[in-house]
Amino acid sequence: MSEPMIAQKAPIAVDVEAGQTYHWCACGHSKTQPFCDGSHRYTHMTPIKFVAEVSETVYFCCCKHSESKPFCDGTHAHL
């Protein structure tokens, strides 16, 4: 597999907490989108670690093609 699977063509809004670590699914196979559940072990991809600096709502990419991983940059609108 050379390309990630598109989990959905819209971002997921998540309220993150300052100081907390999150692991964003890069392969698209996780059942706990947008976060990793270990499904990547059957791919060459690995999750991206994100540590929240502030408590806020962020929009995680779910098409897996964003240039601003793990965040949505609107790429899904062109897939």
**What whole-number distance in Å separates Cα of residue 7 and Cα of residue 64?**
7
- pLDDT at position 45 is 95
Q: Report whether pLDDT(1) > 60.
A: no
Q: Report whether pLDDT(54) > 70.
A: yes
- pLDDT at position 2 is 77
Which residue range is the domain that position 50 belongs to?
1-78
Please count the structural domains in the chain.
Answer: 1
Contact, 65 vs 7, CB < 8 A?
A: no
Half-sphere exposure of 56 (CA within 13 A, CB side): 7
